[in-house]
Chain A
Amino acid sequence: MVRVVHYINQFFGQIGAEEKADVPPSMVPRAVGPGVLIDKALEGHGTVVATVMCGDTYFAEHTEEAATKIIEMIAAHKPDMLIAGPAFNAGRYGIACAEVCKRAQAEMGIPSVTGMYPENPGIELCRKMVYIIETTGNAAGMGKAMPKMVSLALKLYRGEAVGRPSEEGYIPRGIRKNVVDARMAALRAVDLLLKKMKGEAFQTEIACPDLDKVDPPPPITDLSVATIAFVTEGGLVPTGNPDNLPYARATRYEKYSIRDIDTLDPEGFMCIHRGIDRKYINERPNRLLPLDAMRELEREGLFKELFSHYFVTTGVATTMANASKIGQGIAQELKTQGISGVILTST
């Protein structure tokens, strides 16, 4: 028998409407309200062992505490799956369902399914992690939504393959899944071109993310007072890669000291970048980060000094979002350190 816990708000839990929205979490060891539809949809394969309820306002105002309490209550019943809602177009309720499902899945490892109207703000909080069955805007769609939620949760519980959003009824999660098209890609390209040329409406299969144009700052007016730093996406790390900087798809950067070092020797530094032939950098790391040349210019007094550390990430297949995050992090540190110029080297 599959053990199901159902999460609902105070209204569907028959505690009361808006005037009862501030009630804290509570539990009843059986199906309540719409939960009877879960029992029905399980068709004897399982049963609702508990219903956990919480007021929407209470959850919104004490999110962390409420969610922790709710997860405790759910876990106490050792369920095989969690059904939350459906929340339809109720915003606070949707957010609560999203949080509870996310945490139940992450902390208890049980499949969790909820249901919402496409405009519910709870969707963006969890749709990449949690399956959300698409519902109507109000509770009139309860009878249609619940069997879909149960059926999808059972599939997840049994480890069966989940089909397309349109087949299963869930809101697209934004996951790009490989599928086999009936028409070869080259032919689709020509189809698309003809539509575009005729001025008909056309749909791209890959949408490019928005560009973030950055205007360069004005040039440094007086180099003699300027501290210059090295930044590279070339994956140059101390030998052994002590911080396990990823060799591709980096999500972070590191900084390493070059204080009192005049040249980068191959014993001390190595390149881990997966997008290039690393041979030439590993022979002479100065080829990526020209420390030897910079020290010479520093001694000649071309600029005040070279910053004591260099910043490094690996620029291989990095997403726009991660690259921006890494760049902002490095820029923030540079600014805090009063650095006025950067030599940015790339592969």
Chain B
Amino acid sequence: MKLEMQEYEVRDVRFGKKTAYAKGVLTINKDELLNYISTDARLEGMDVGIAKPGEETRIVNVLELTEPRIKPDTGDYYPGMLAPLGRAGQGTTNVLKNVAVLECGFATGLFGGLLDMTGPASLLTPYAKRINVCISAEPASSANMKEYGLALKQAGMKTGVYLAKATVGMTPGEVKTYDLARDAKSLAGLPRVAYLYQLHNHGEAREPFIYGHNSEDFFSTILHPNEIIDGAIVSFHYNTSTAIKNPTYTVTNHPVILDLYRRHGKEINFVGVVIAPEPPSLTEKKRIALMSATLLKEVLNAEGVIVSKEGGGHTDVDIMENCEQCEKLGIRTVLLDNEFVGPDGTGELPIICITSSANAMVSVGNFEETIELPGMKRVIGGTRMPDIVGEMHEKRTIPVSLVAGAISQVGFTYLRTEVW
């Protein structure tokens, strides 16, 4: 399976007469875009704004981030979600780099994040370094929380494809090829490494989609890494705290998969990815862990695996069970995990399930440490937000878990803890 990513670097995004990409500048016809994404009866008052790195802008209620992409051959993206069902991970994909599309929304039950484009919080998240095209809308009175979220999701995906369309037929700045196939000789003797990717499904608007299918009930399965970085998995974690969800931007730029790809054929033999659910009961968790470990050992012949979790609380059980079952079969395991050690870092690690096999863990930071934010001049995304009191533009102290992108359970972050 071979995927060519045609990358178009963006230096600036502005509103203008015609939506176009030229010399690193993406121009957006705002009215045309708004007309295109405002047709959904579940949404009201659709707006779009641009936020750039360094600006004194605060984006609130960030539910989801995506990267503008399109399949130039078919003119769409996200098979099973936005595009008709088809195979992700092959052919050509055009990508606008350095830009994110943000979906902002507020409703009871939704948990959006906060993103400052300057100041201390901006240093903690990769998304403050992107040019952000933010769409926001209110729910129509007839739309419940889930329908509202799905409508925003649809509008966000459409926006990304609409923007990326401007690159079709243009010469990319860079082309990256993703293909696991190598001649046997170049892979001989290299350590066989896989990735076990836990997906969190825990109710309405708290779920990723796999080729458009709600991930509520599936068994451990092997996906080609290309499928994951090319839109097969779409986040719908709108009812999940910001720090414990992986937005689609992160999934399509999956840092573990991309790093394993970079080392493939040089330091390692990247043998593949297993995705697994995090079901609610202990019996199911054990069954899934057994199945995942079997696939890794007996089908992929993995000798080492990175395991990441998604979500909080009971997902510790999954990651520890996965770790134990892999180690039992002789697969060396490293876990990515967030910490939860109190606002001042004095707490003990509350991991609800522990195995002695979990002797190699990488931290993605303490969730609860607070950070002081200065006031911002401009606010995008609403006038109120869950867990935050007062005017949105004001200076305030918040836990780092509310900063969109600061904590990333798949390791798309530079944050970690250090013992002081």
Contact = CB atoms under 8 A, between A and B. Distances in A.
B124 interface: yes
A172 B412 contact: no
A176 B418 CA distance: 5
A179 B417 CA distance: 6
Contact of B255 (A182, A186, A209, A277): A186
A189 B420 contact: no
Contacts of B333: 193, 196
A190 B306 contact: yes
A180 B415 contact: yes
Interface string A290-326: 0000000000000000000000000011111100000
B388 interface: no
A175 B347 CA distance: 8
A316 B341 CA distance: 13
A183 B416 CA distance: 10
B420 A318 contact: no
Contacts of B334: 189-190, 192-193, 196
A185 interface: yes
Interface stretch (A3-11, A197-205, A215-223, A328-336): A197-205
B342 to A, nearest CB: 8
A81 B116 CA distance: 37
Interface stretch (B35-43, B44-52, B288-296, B356-364): B356-364
A205 B411 contact: no
A185 B349 contact: no
B410 interface: yes
B226 interface: no
B411 A189 contact: yes
A277 B342 CA distance: 23
B86 interface: no
A181 interface: yes
A194 B267 contact: yes
Contact of A193 (B313, B332, B366): B332
Contacts of A189: 256, 306, 334, 336, 362, 411
Given A179-B418, A181-B415, A196-B360, A190 B346 contact: no
A184 interface: yes
Interface in B358-397: 358-366, 369
Contacts of B268: 190, 194
Chain B CB within 10 Å — which of A178, A183, A202, A277 has the most?
Answer: A178
A177 interface: yes
Interface of A: 128, 164-165, 172-190, 192-194, 196-198, 202, 204-209, 211, 249, 275, 277, 316-321
Given A173-B420, A188-B362, 17 more contacts: A175-B419, A176-B366, A177-B420, A178-B366, A178-B369, A180-B414, A185-B364, A186-B336, A190-B259, A194-B268, A194-B304, A198-B191, A204-B361, A206-B363, A209-B348, A249-B350, A275-B313
21 contacts: A174-B346, A176-B418, A176-B419, A178-B366, A178-B416, A180-B124, A181-B414, A185-B336, A185-B412, A186-B411, A190-B268, A194-B304, A197-B304, A209-B348, A209-B349, A211-B354, A249-B342, A277-B203, A319-B350, A320-B350, A321-B348
- Going nearest first, the 9 A-B pairs with the smallest beta carbon separation are A186-B411, A186-B255, A185-B411, A319-B348, A206-B361, A176-B417, A193-B334, A176-B345, A205-B363
